Chains A and B, each alone.
Chain A
Amino acid sequence: MTDPDLCLEACDLSVRYGGRPAVSGVGLQARRGRILAIVGPSGCGKSTVLACFNRLHDLNPACDLRGSIRLDGQEILRSGLDVLALRRRVGLIVQRPNPLPLSIGRNLTFPLRHHGMGRRADRQDAARQAMQRVGLWEEVKDRLGRPASELSGGQQQRLCLARALVLEPEVLLLDEPCSALDPLASAVVEELVASLRGSVTILIVTHNLAQARRLADDVAVFWNRDGVGYLEEQGSADAVFAAPRSPITAAYLAGARG
């Protein structure tokens, strides 16, 4: 009954902060193995919606959620859901790299251990593979014991990506992952994201329309009306970029282009 292609689906999602509406009536679909870019001006609730997909809004008691989000057809907003297991399946990378105050190596092995990977050698293997996958291994293999905070910004962001990947998530949420990085580091991360196409479902919030064009299979455009964010338009990247249905989208894409 459910579309096997459909990985993540939000229906009529509304978010309120302390009673004030922030996002209303969002219906969003992410297809398996594809990259969905979420674009739109600042303050239209893109990041807010993104954080709902792994229930990070639970951390904020003032945040109130209505509607439904289904992962592989399973409702994830119901109470009693194993949130920790969900967060393992749905990884999140934020704008500013946030390595844990641990060593480079333990940033990866530590979450593994607590997600039940019992043998140390297994964890080390997995960590090494993940770091190889993000191209970090060669750069850090001699200093795995150093604090992660000693890495450069781009390296830190790749470490965070590796840390998410090492848990083998089904979905990866990327919240402007390149905006704090220099162009070179940004290009490396972007390439990485592209290389994940097909194996992981990716939702990426970005302000960089060129990046969205380069990466996205699908695009969702958010807008805001009276300070409340909503979904203006969504569709395949080709369709939206070539022939936007909504005049707002058209103006936004054009304005950004000009």
Chain B
Amino acid sequence: MLKPSSSFHRHPDRPLLWTLRLLSAVAALIVALILLFVLREAWPALHQLGPLRFLHDPGWHPAAGGADAQYGLLPMLAGTLLSSGGAVLLAAPLGLGSALFATSYGPPRLGGLHRQLLQVLGGIPSVVVGFWGLVVLTPLIRQWHPPGQSLLAGILCLTVMILPTTALLSEQAVREVPAESLQAAAALGLSRRATLEGVVLPVARGGLLSAVILASGRALGETMAVLMVAGNVIQVPAAVFDPVRTLTANIALELGYALDLHRAVLFVGGLVLMGVVAVVMALAASLQRSPGHG
């Protein structure tokens, strides 16, 4: 039997292919342009300070004059990784759960409503979420463990920010499971759990991973919400109740007031962030390629 591969025609529609190729190249070009731009802005700092100072300097005092200046980025890198990692760890199962609710466990009517609500959440600006976090969430956390503005608050706000991405895309992925497969599973008398485990999750795996990848990118790049609730103290947190500063918050807090080398160092932070995202994506890609998929 001919494999139903829908890929490459050996004689594809030439004009169509070239149009698509051209527009894809535009998309790729944008990435290159942005990378070049960030590199250009970061160059003075990389050139004058060398990459090691960003790792070794004990603190972050870029505005202090001359020899007193310190440019350690590590605590902020830790802040970024911990807050985003925490948020993804929360949002991924929540997203999957909400997708399962919308597709199989919840009544169909409620499922639609649920999706609508998530779409609303997706359109709420991060300032609003940050504002809510600062006024409502952090006082609650403070009662539990001061000072309230903390890694935990950052994680929770980030979770709220990326939840629409994970939930909506997970739902889309779960819906892609062919009805026949579900029927087949039902015909075998499999329980819903077994169907999920044996049919739904394997088929939807690629889509679910996609959702998590996009959400991770969003979490790593998110600025305002974290800025307003995470406390922004530059330190490697010892507990979830400690305040942290992320790379993005650092850029947003200081860029408006930074001059010359200080400004360039902030862009080095941006570059580091892009590096982190690239590594995360590479990991995800290798996961996607690993056996068991498809």
Contacts and interface: CB of A to CB of B under 8 A. Distances in A.
B6 interface: yes
B255 to A, nearest CB: 48
B109 interface: no
Interface string B1-36: 111011111110000000000000000000000000
Q: Interface range on chain A: under 10, 10 to 19, 20 to 34, or 35 or more?
A: 10 to 19
A48 B1 contact: yes
A60 B11 contact: no
Interface in A69-113: 79, 83
B105 to A, nearest CB: 26
A58 B10 contact: yes
Most buried by A among B1, B6, B10: B1
Interface string A203-234: 00000000000000000000000000000000
A11 to B, nearest CB: 21
Interface in A170-184: 175
Q: Interface range on chain B: under 10, 10 to 19, 20 to 34, or 35 or more?
A: 10 to 19
A56 B2 contact: yes
B2 A48 contact: yes
A59 interface: yes
Contact of A58 (B1, B3, B6, B9): B9
Nearest to A95: B1
B17 to A, nearest CB: 14
A47 interface: yes
Nearest to A149: B179
A58 B8 CA distance: 8
A61 B10 contact: yes
A51 interface: yes
Nearest to B4: A59
B10 A47 contact: no
Interface string A19-60: 000000000000000000000000000011001000011111
B9 A59 contact: yes
Contacts of A175: 1
B1 A61 contact: no
Contacts of B7: 59-61
A7 to B, nearest CB: 22
Interface in B169-219: none
A63 B3 CA distance: 10
Contact of A83 (B5, B6, B11): B11
B185 to A, nearest CB: 19
B11 A61 contact: no
A79 B11 CA distance: 9
B250 to A, nearest CB: 48
A60 B3 contact: yes
Contacts of A83: 11
Nearest to B1: A47
Nearest to A51: B2
A79 B10 CA distance: 10
B8 A57 contact: no
A47 B3 CA distance: 10
B81 to A, nearest CB: 40
Nearest to B8: A61
B1 A60 contact: no
A62 to B, nearest CB: 8
Most buried by A among B2, B6, B8, B9: B2
A51 B3 CA distance: 10
Contacts of B9: 58-59
Contacts of B8: 59, 61
A168 to B, nearest CB: 24
A48 B1 CA distance: 5
A88 to B, nearest CB: 15
Nearest to A43: B1
A155 to B, nearest CB: 18
A51 B11 CA distance: 16
Contacts of B11: 58, 79, 83
Interface in A140-179: 175
A83 B11 CA distance: 8
A57 B1 CA distance: 10
Interface of A: 17, 47-48, 51, 56-63, 79, 83, 175
20 contacts: A47-B1, A48-B2, A51-B2, A56-B2, A57-B2, A58-B10, A58-B11, A59-B2, A59-B5, A59-B6, A59-B7, A59-B9, A60-B7, A61-B7, A61-B8, A62-B3, A62-B5, A79-B11, A83-B11, A175-B1
> Which 6 A-B pairs rank lowest in CB-CB distance, beginning with the nearest?
A51-B2, A47-B1, A58-B10, A61-B8, A60-B5, A60-B3
Given A17-B3, A48-B2, A59-B9, 15 more contacts: A47-B1, A57-B2, A58-B9, A58-B10, A59-B5, A59-B6, A59-B7, A60-B2, A60-B5, A61-B5, A62-B3, A63-B2, A79-B11, A83-B11, A175-B1
